[in-house]
Every structure is written in C-alpha cells, then in structure tokens.
Chain A
Amino acid sequence: DAGVIQSPRHEVTEMGQEVTLRCKPISGHDYLFWYRQTMMRGLELLIYFNNNVPIDDSGMPEDRFSAKMPNASFSTLKIQPSEPRDSAVYFCASSRDRDTGELFFGEGSRLTVL
C-alpha cells in the first residue's frame, strides 16, 4: 500500500513567488494534517481536515497561507506571496482517526525562499 505522497520534495523560489505544495493521503484515511518543521520552532500543526473539510486552521501563520482539500485523495498548501521566513520542511500526514495519534507522514517538501 502506498504511503502519503508529497510533491515537490524540494522547492527553491524567490521571495514574492507563489508556492504550491501537494499531498496525496493514504486511501481510506479520513484525516489529513499539514505540519511545518523548522529548527527554531520544531513541528507546528498548520491545519487539519476531516472528510475534506477544514476543521482547525488556527496554526496557519497568516493570510498568505491557504490550504484546500478538493477531494479525499488530494490536498494543497499554498503560500502567496512567499517570504524567506517561510523556508522550512512542510509535512503532510494522514490518519484514520484524529484521536488515536497514529499519523502516517509523507517524506516532506523542503522549501527554500531566497
């Protein structure tokens, strides 16, 4: 069974450009989570979805960030415009249940904004 698939693995862009990160969760998982990992702040939950509906986006840092889940097999995280402080590794994770704590993570998208 395929795991969580993220793309791109690496993205280098210039300040002001739009960035779109993509995620395909594991089939049958009803929950999808977007996390951001930096050295300074560790792993931060940005937003999570249940059955394609955003449940909690309180971790999204500002209006430049948006996330969508148009169907059960695809989600995007968009940053527009991007800034150097957005440089981080962005992880997508999915799970069958929010409360079991058993998340399955993708390999991450490393974003560098110059």
Chain B
Amino acid sequence: GNSVTQMEGPVTLSEEAFLTINCTYTATGYPSLFWYVQYPGEGLQLLLKATKADDKGSNKGFEATYRKETTSFHLEKGSVQVSDSAVYFCALSDPGNTPLVFGKGTRLSVIA
C-alpha cells in the first residue's frame, strides 16, 4: 500500500541555519507529493506540492524536488527563521486510490 516515511524529530536549529527534512514514499501508482505545515494551535495548511517526477515545489523559501529514482521528496530551506517553528508533514496522493496519506510529522524548533 501507499505510505510516507519522514525523519523523526524534533529538529532544533539556530536562526539562519540550513534545513533538511527527509521524506521517502512508497506508492503503487504515480503519486503527487506534498508538504503541509502545522503552526502551534492551528490546523495543517499546504506548503508546497509536486505532481510529477523532477518537479520542484516551492513556497516561502522552502523547496522540495520530486525524485522518482530515490522515491524521495526532501524539504529544504536555506535560512530558517524563528517563525518557521512548526510541525511539517510529508504526504502523498495516489489518484484513483486512497486519499491523502500523511507521514507522522517532524517538529522543527528554531531558536534565535
């Protein structure tokens, strides 16, 4: 079946550090891949997405590239801010099959 595995947190970084959160997936078809972010006390919101291999999704300085050969969709940001502190979820959608499947989430804390 479809599944998403992302690195366990928590991740603690200093402001302006480089961020990578790893995500790998297993899918039976040709999935679309997503990163969602959950700020404290809020629901999840879509951060970025990629719908086919080699696509790069980007938003708010974050980016992730859909790598079919390594079944990965790692999230990166060159310089994190305190306001980026949140829980990040990798997810996949396999059209025609089950709806959105989420990873367990990675908590990021950025300290000034």
- Whether a CB of chain B sits under 8 angstroms from the CB of A4 is yes
In the assembled complex, the Cα of A48 lies from the Cα of B98 at a distance in Å of 10
Return A39 CB to nearest CB of chain B, in Å. Answer: 10
Q: A42-B105, A43-B89 are in contact. Are A103 and B42 (CB under 8 A)?
A: no
Q: How far apart sit A102 and B103, CA to CA, in the bound complex (Å)?
A: 16
- Chain A's closest residue to B99 (CB) is A98
| Known contacts A33-B99, A48-B99: A103-B46 contact under CB 8 Å | yes
Q: Of A45, A102, A105, which one neighbours B43 at CB under 8 angstroms?
A: A105
Are A103 and B44 within 8 A (Cβ)? Answer: yes
Check B102 against A99 for contact (C-beta < 8 Å): no
With contacts A42-B102, A42-B103, A48-B99 known, is A101 near B45, CB below 8 A?
Answer: no
B105 engages A43 (CB within 8 Å): yes
Chain B residue nearest to A91 (CB atoms) is B43
Chain A interface residue count: which class? 20 to 34
A25 lies within 8 A of chain B by Cβ: no
Total number of residue pairs linking A and B with CB closer than 8 Å: 54
Q: A43, B43: Cβ atoms under 8 Å?
A: no
Complex Cα–Cα for A59 and B95 (A)? 19
Set of chain B residues within 8 Å of A4, measured between Cβ atoms = 43
Query: Within the complex, what minimum Cβ distance (angstroms) separates B9 from chain A?
Result: 12
- Could you tell me which residues of chain A, from 90 to 110, have a CB within 8 Å of some CB in chain B? 91, 93, 98-108
B104: CB under 8 A from chain A? yes
- 12 A-B interface contacts by CB (under 8 A): A4-B43, A33-B99, A42-B103, A45-B101, A56-B98, A93-B44, A101-B49, A105-B43, A106-B43, A107-B41, A107-B43, A108-B42
Q: Which residues of A contact B (CB under 8 A)?
A: 4, 31, 33, 42-43, 45, 48, 56, 91, 93, 98-108
Interface residue ranges, B against A (CB under 8 Å): 32, 34, 41-46, 49, 89, 91-93, 95-96, 98-105
Besides the known contacts A56-B98, A101-B93, A107-B42, 9 further A-B residue pairs in the complex with CB atoms under 8 A apart: A4-B43, A33-B99, A56-B99, A93-B43, A98-B99, A99-B32, A100-B32, A104-B45, A105-B44
